[in-house]
Amino acid sequence: MEKWELVLLWCALIGYVIGGSAAIIGVVLKRLPERTVLAILALALLLHTAFLAIRWVRLGHGPYLTMFDILSSNIWSFMLIFLIVYWRYQVVRPASAIIMPVIFMLMGWMQLSDNTPGHLPSHYNTLWLYIHISFAKVFSGMVLVAVGLSGIILLRHLQPARERFARLPVNGSLADLAYRFMAIALIFHSLMLVAGAIWAHDAWGRYWNWNALETWSFITWLLLAFAIHLRITFKPSPELSAVLVIGVFSLAFLTFYGVPFFSNAPHKGVM
């Protein structure tokens, strides 16, 4: 990795840690420095954007081949979506106490990953690849926001957390908001599958081959659709709805991060 790339990346990661830690501490102390958190995280995101852009230009392809690049770009997309939602929806801001630890975990994993560049065959590099990956990132970011709200619902059963989140709307309202984000996630997951099929036809001459990532992506779509259908039809308790949200995120996490470890298919997980 080039020197300036490394400097930008570390500055971005330090900014995420400072801003995210301030958000978590603010939730615990019931004094969330919202504007300060937003400013620090936004600055860190800009530095991360510069890192990704410089690395993209140097390597000649985007951050979607190796585990290091996949993790880096997903941290970026998670932070971008979370900051937009953080800025627009005040009720979501305390969810940073759940969302930021997930991002911290991904940051640690990224630092342990090999940053050696990968190789992208020319016939893979089409417009539909970028469309497919973009839809995947919006899907996963929306589910992560829903996980943050669902975490609040479940943590409210603990006395200390109940006091910290006392000013938030009741669990039913939080569950409704979480499932609005889940509905957006379903739309983008569906678009991701369609765009991925078109890209696969351009790359390999077939739309669908039931390889490991395709199969588990479809299973994730089914669970996501089931969770939304159950919420609309049977109106389960906010707690059960929250568990389903976390289940969808967990399955998606295993799909997009677990498959690359055991799949020998060409399509290992460029998210």
Is the per-residue pLDDT at 34 higher than 60? yes
Question: What are 42's two structure tokens?
Answer: 């936004």
pTM: 0.92
Q: Give the distance from CA 91 to its chain's centroid.
A: 19
Assign 3-class secondary structure to 174-233.
HHHHHHHHHHHHHHHHHHHHHHHHHHHHHHHCCCCCCCHHHHHHHHHHHHHHHHHHHHHH
Parse the chain into domains and list their residue ranges. 121-271
pLDDT confidence band for 263 (50 / 70 / 90): low
Total residue length of the chain: 271
Contact 135, 192 (CB under 8 A): yes
Contact 200, 206 (CB under 8 A): yes
Mean pLDDT of 224-247: 96
Residues 56-90 pLDDT 10s: 999 988 898 888 999 999 999 999 999 999 999 99
Place of tokens 């967990």: 250
Is the per-residue pLDDT at 265 higher than 60? no
> Where does the chain have alpha helices with state H?
3-29, 34-59, 67-88, 96-112, 127-155, 159-164, 171-204, 212-233, 238-253, 259-262
Q: Output the CA–CA distances (angstroms, integers) from residue 261 to 75, 204, 245, 258, in the order listed.
A: 19, 22, 25, 6
Phi then psi dihedrals of residue 64, to 5 deg: -145, 20
Of all helices (H) and strands (E), which one includes residue 62?
Answer: none
Mean pLDDT of 204-230: 91
Instruction: Report which of residues 56 and 162 the model is more confident about.
Output: 56
